[in-house]
Amino acid sequence: GPAVVWFRDDLRVADNPALRAAADSGRPVLCVYVWDDRSPEVRAPGGAARWWLHHSLHSLAERLEAMGATLTIRRGPAEQVIGGLLRETGTAAVYWNRRYGSERRIDERIKTAAREGGVEASSFGANLLFEPWTIRTGQGGPFSVYTPFWRACLAAPAPRKPVAAPARLTPASRIDGEELEALGLLPTHPDWAGGLRETWQPGERAAHEQLRRFLADDVAAYADDRDLPGVDATSRLSPRLRWGELSPHQLWHASATARDRSNAKGVSTFQSELGWREFAYHTLYEHPDMATVNIHRRYDAFPWPRLHPAALHAWQRGRTGIPLVDAGMRELWHSGVMHNRVRMVTASFLIKNLLVDWRHGEQWFWDTLVDADPANNPFNWQWVAGSGADAAPYFRVFNPELQREKFDRQGDYVRRWVPEWDTPDYPEPIVDLAETRRAALAAFDVVKSAR
């Protein structure tokens, strides 16, 4: 029987341990992707993420084709689909790279059932530098503070070297599958993806080119400029990591290899940002429901006022009258990403000036980001809200006007996305910053006194 490789958040052929194991098994290889928007354990990707996924799958299929194999696409609840496929093909072995949220329960059930049926089932660490169960405090528990967490990671055995892509694959007999187009991942009426097409080229090859350019041109100034949204200083590799077109191991080793006297600080800072991604995933591993449930449960007592749909809508559309917030929300709508500094400011404005429950903002980001990530997105929303792991204290409210003066001093970023800023066409702020800040702090007193 064939060896099945089940692709999920690892849409690459290089540094893909599951694919490598299948190739090395000497068996014919069957590559599968399952579009699963049915299992309750899986959070179905939002609109922008589906756009990315479509194109990334297309590119993966081409790469596998060039290696002699086919990517078979099926749809439905993964447990049924993979189970059925194993029986139908007389599979000898099934390989995948691990997931860390609630989906891992599906994987565990499939693994158990496969082994009971005499099928070898193996999972690999491919999408994190450090497996969650290997980084523990002195008491044996998970870390809840980033700095000691990252120190423990740096003291742990170094991340393994990337594994090479197999040169050729022996294809298994073809089986029925869906056409990629039939999954309906792309928008049709209206087609809102023009800005995404302008901004991105999904796929492994483009991802490597982007990494190469970042290390050659930008990493040296990364530590100094990464907070300036008007400067193209960050890697913009987040969707590559989200979909696994690149692994963190590849980023880790490529940046370490590129390190020299001129860029050492940039490389370390960049690697410590990868550390925040690790921390978010380790937190997800402990709190699989963190997209909906406060990590610090005393925040459940927060007295969110009744939702004002008009305020939420103004925020979503970038029409709040606060220039840095509007610039960020428009960048997001157009390009499917937003600069990290501005993500913090827009999130803080929604939660603390509009007093909208962070889950509404998290959901909007989930639907509009091409890098919408099951760990990074809720982790960072809870970080801003104050309810998360090692979060910003609630009472630290960003002032979006001071943030603009500090990080977009010349106004390059704001003018790029809000060209009518400083003209009579630009709206007045929908709320008073000082007054709403006071209201937020008063609401927070309820949390402080909750136990």
Which tokens belong to 387? 């309810």
Q: Cβ(323)–Cβ(414) under 8 Å?
A: yes
The binder of ligand FAD chosen from 377, 382, 387, 436 (CB under 6 A) = 377
Question: Which residues from 341-370 bind ligand FAD, rule CB under 6 A?
Answer: 343-344, 347, 365, 369
Query: Dihedral, CA atoms, 124, 36, 49, 329, nearest 10 degrees?
Result: -120
Least distance from ligand FAD to the Cβ atom of residue 341, Å: 8
* For ligand FAD, the closer CB: 102 or 170: 102
Per-residue interface string for the shown chain with ligand FAD, residues 129-148, x marking contact by CB under 6 A? --------------------
Q: Does 389 bind ligand FAD (CB under 6 A)?
A: no
* For ligand FAD, the closer CB: 276 or 413: 276
Least distance from ligand FAD to the Cβ atom of residue 274, Å: 5
* For ligand FAD, the closer CB: 95 or 381: 381
* For ligand FAD, the closer CB: 166 or 229: 229
Per-residue interface string for the shown chain with ligand FAD, residues 163-202, x marking contact by CB under 6 A? ----------------------------------------
* For ligand FAD, the closer CB: 59 or 247: 247
Least distance from ligand FAD to the Cβ atom of residue 179, Å: 29
Phi, psi of 208, rounded to the nearest 5 degrees: -65, -40
Q: How far apart are CA 2 and CA 321, in angstroms?
A: 59
Least distance from ligand FAD to the Cβ atom of residue 184, Å: 23
Binding region for ligand FAD (CB under 6 A) out of 80-88, 314-322, 338-346, 407-415: 338-346
Q: Cβ(350)–Cβ(361) under 8 Å?
A: yes
Query: Dihedral, CA atoms, 373, 378, 384, 385, nearest 10 degrees?
Result: 160
Least distance from ligand FAD to the Cβ atom of residue 384, Å: 5
Least distance from ligand FAD to the Cβ atom of residue 273, Å: 4
Q: How far apart are CA 161 and CA 212, in angstroms?
A: 17
Q: How far apart are CA 344 and CA 381, in angstroms?
A: 8
DSSP structural state of residue 171:
B
Q: Measured between alpha carbons, how far is residue 257 from residues 72, 126, 212, 251 in Å?
A: 36, 20, 12, 10
Binding region for ligand FAD (CB under 6 A) out of 55-63, 101-109, 142-150, 337-345: 337-345
Q: How far apart are CA 83 and CA 96, in angstroms?
A: 14
* For ligand FAD, the closer CB: 294 or 377: 377
* For ligand FAD, the closer CB: 80 or 269: 269
Least distance from ligand FAD to the Cβ atom of residue 404, Å: 16
* For ligand FAD, the closer CB: 150 or 444: 150
Least distance from ligand FAD to the Cβ atom of residue 337, Å: 6
Q: Does 372 bind ligand FAD (CB under 6 A)?
A: yes
Binding region for ligand FAD (CB under 6 A) out of 235-243, 258-266, 319-327, 443-451: 235-243
* For ligand FAD, the closer CB: 20 or 282: 282
* Cis-peptide, bond into residue 309, ω within 30° of zero: no
Q: Cβ(318)–Cβ(333) under 8 Å?
A: yes
Which tokens belong to 110? 């499939």
| Nearby residues of 204 by Cβ (< 8 Å), 6 or more positions away | 11, 12, 13, 14, 59, 60, 63, 245, 246
Q: Does 237 bind ligand FAD (CB under 6 A)?
A: yes
Question: Which residues from 69-88 bind ligand FAD, rule CB under 6 A?
Answer: none
3-state secondary structure 277-326: HHHHHHHHHHCCCCCCCCCCHHHHHCCCCCCCHHHHHHHHHCCCCCHHHH
Q: Is 189 exposed, middle or buried (0-12, 13-18, 19+ CB in 10 A)?
A: exposed
How many chain residues touch ligand FAD (CB under 6 A)?
A: 27
Q: How far apart are CA 401 and CA 247, in angstroms?
A: 37
Q: Which of 75, 123, 133 is nearest to 99 (CA)?
A: 123
* For ligand FAD, the closer CB: 80 or 340: 340
The binder of ligand FAD chosen from 384, 389, 397, 447 (CB under 6 A) = 384
Q: Cβ(130)–Cβ(156) under 8 Å?
A: yes
Least distance from ligand FAD to the Cβ atom of residue 244, Å: 12
Question: Which residues from 262-281 bind ligand FAD, rule CB under 6 A?
Answer: 273-274, 276-277, 280
Q: Cβ(451)–Cβ(298) under 8 Å?
A: yes
Q: Cβ(274)–Cβ(248) under 8 Å?
A: yes
Chain positions contacting ligand FAD, by CB under 6 A = 226, 234-238, 241-242, 273-274, 276-277, 280, 340, 343-344, 347, 365, 369, 371-373, 376-377, 380-381, 384
